[in-house]
Amino acid sequence: MTTTSHFSLVLETPAAKPEEAYHHFLTKLSVETDAADVRLDLQRGQQSFLLVDARSAQDFEECHIPGAINLPYRKITAASTAHLSKEKPLIVYCWSPGCNAATKAAVRLSALGFQVKEMIGGLEYWRREGGEVEGTLGEQAPLVN
């Protein structure tokens, strides 16, 4: 039997005004992208951004997105990024939605003056959507660490 409640958990906090929602979601898109968009851009030959894997060197060696560079978030400094152009946005990723290495990398890179977007879903969603990987384990690598 279905009962009707006069209280909504969804609307306990009222929805934002349209203009507030617009600015929120526009801001969110300015710092995030997804695996599908990255993959399609790469398939189309886009070279307007640099893909950065924020996981450890060993994880990168075992499995990564072709064309990505490895820049473990713990090692991001002015010295370790001196060879990178600040003119090209960096797209950072890590393992999965349960991993925050990409977020930590984005914080450090943006503090150093880089334009950064995080690829939400990470390597897990890249692979789930059919994205190619390379490395010593390649497709045999675990989806998450």
Q: Average pLDDT for residues 14-26, to the nearest whole number?
A: 97
Does some domain include residue 113? Answer: yes
Does some domain include residue 23? Answer: no
Does some domain include residue 4? Answer: no
The confidence score (pLDDT) of residue 1 equals: 67
The C-alpha atoms of residue 60 and residue 92 are separated, in whole angstroms, by 13
Domain that holds residue 91: 32-139
**Number of independent structural domains in the chain:** 1
pLDDT tens digits, residue range 34-63? 999 999 999 999 999 999 999 999 999 999
Does some domain include residue 46? Answer: yes
Does some domain include residue 12? Answer: no
The confidence score (pLDDT) of residue 113 equals: 98
- Full-prediction pTM beyond 0.75? yes
The confidence score (pLDDT) of residue 119 equals: 98
List residues bridging with 52 in a β-sheet.
Answer: 69, 92
- 95 is written with which tokens? 């393992």
What CATH number does the domain containing 77 carry? 3.40.250.10
**Ordered DSSP codes for 51-71:** EEE-S-HHHHHHSB-TT-EE-
More confident residue, 75 or 4: 75
